[in-house]
Structure 1
Amino acid sequence: MDAVPMTLAERLSAIDRSIADAARDAGRDPSEITRIVVTKFHPASLVRELHALGVREVGENRQQELSAKSAELADLTDLHWHFIGQAQTNKAGAVRRAARVVHSVDRKKLADSLDRAAFDDSILDVLIQVNLTDDPGRGGIVSAELETFAEYILDLPTLALKGIMAVAPLDEEPARAFSRLRGYAERLQGLAPEASWISAGMTGDFAEAINAGATHLRIGSAITGPRPAQG
């Protein structure tokens, strides 16, 4: 007999139990960890279902989806949108209007564009994305630029530097890559003690990320289910 598919609520609960178990195994308090549900390609209606289940932190990879969903769900005023994809400078205004946090700031032009896009007296939380691979085509700064880039962001009046973000390479053990990221995070906190967030870990490697000190996890299909087919 085929297994009965899990419901959205069951998938969410299962992931949260796994996160809590991984935190305890690492000697950490599960309450220190923020679970962000990534809803790429899923409709706004799924986000509304997640909100009804208690989800308040939601992530998007693409500006168009971020803008559309946040507008459709504007009545959910306690929903926090995280932008986690590669942003184009000409889309910085749209990203800023929709997102509370941008995880993927990796160049001065983008930081400048986000700062100039301020539309009121609000402060935008941002994280520096670091490239953990040897491929310069991947998103993120090289680690040697970390302090210089952090100082640059700290001088921008409408951005608040909250921490660091990275994606584990496909060809390396996640634990090793995240250990390196932990070292970069410590360097950043040496310069900006308040920049304590570490955004790392997805469905397949969040336990390793938690063990390395991740504070924010980006979990997608393990909670949302398979992405709808794209036309």
Structure 2
Amino acid sequence: MTEAPAARLAAFLEQLEDARRARDVTVVVVTKFHPVELVRELAAAGHRHFGENRHPEARDKAEATTDLGLVWHFVGQLQRKKARQVARYADVLHSIDAIELVEALEGGEPGDERPVRDALVQVNLTDDPARGGVEPTGLEALAERVAASEALRLRGVMAVAPLGEEPGRAFERLATYAERVRRLDASADWISAGMSADWREALEHGATHLRIGTAITGNRAVGG
């Protein structure tokens, strides 16, 4: 018999309680490719933080669950042309990686409603400049721009561990980048890092937000 998502959630939170040593940690359940019914099931079990990485699916789920009082996190690459659309429903934007993206979020016509969104600066932990995230050399300039924006609230940093590298080493570097951002703004103390396969390593290096998919949701209904 397949274990229910609510049971997997409870089991994961029990593991987290054993590992986090009393530190506050937010679990963002990533529901990509899963139906909105799964979101409702986990919400009924008391969970409030959910994430998506594709705009159409994220928008539809957020609109279908407005009655639940959920916090929606957009954790995928944010396209400039869709940035303001995403900001209409996403409470937290995890992937701010360019000043041009900040400018796009500030755009619009005078009088447009512009809710202030929590924002994390995504850092590229690889040697590939084509991967998502700002290069570490540009971290402070981007963080300062986010902090100065009327559309965003600087919260900290986010990253994905590179394939082929021990996650702990990557997250150790991310912790140093997080400290650099905290020197600019002491309240920007969030670290979004760790997924189903490497959340323990992320936690060891200060993660405050874990982006967990299959460990809680089970195998995806379609896709990867």
Relative to the length of structure 2, the TM-score reads 0.95
Give the RMSD, CA atoms, in angstroms.
1.3
Q: Please, which moves more after superposition, 35-44 or 147-156?
A: 147-156
| 1:1-231 aligned within 5 A | 4-24=1-21, 29-30=22-23, 32-76=24-68, 78-116=69-107, 119-120=112-113, 122-230=115-223
**Cα gap change, 1:39/1:173 in structure 2, threshold over 3 Å: closer, same or farther?**
same
Distance in 1, matches of 2:189 and 2:112, equals: 26
The one-letter amino acid paired with 1:143 is P
| Per-residue Cα deviation, 1:36-77 (whole angstroms, up to 9, x for no partner) | 00000111111111110111000000011111111111211x
Distance in 1, matches of 2:3 and 2:162, equals: 30
Q: Kindly state the Cα deviation for residue 122 of structure 1 after the two structures are TM-superposed.
A: 2.9
Unaligned runs of 5+ residues in structure 1 are none
Aligned length: 221
| Per-residue Cα deviation, 1:101-136 (whole angstroms, up to 9, x for no partner) | 000000111111122259436311100000101111
> Which stretches of structure 1, 4 residues or longer, exceed 2 Å deviation after superposition?
115-122
| Percent identical | 50
Unaligned runs of 5+ residues in structure 2 are none
CA contact 1:19–1:206 (8 Å) conserved in 2: no
SS in 2 for 1:95: helix
SS in 1 for 2:220: coil
Q: Kindly state the Cα deviation for residue 17 of structure 1 after the two structures are TM-superposed.
A: 1.3
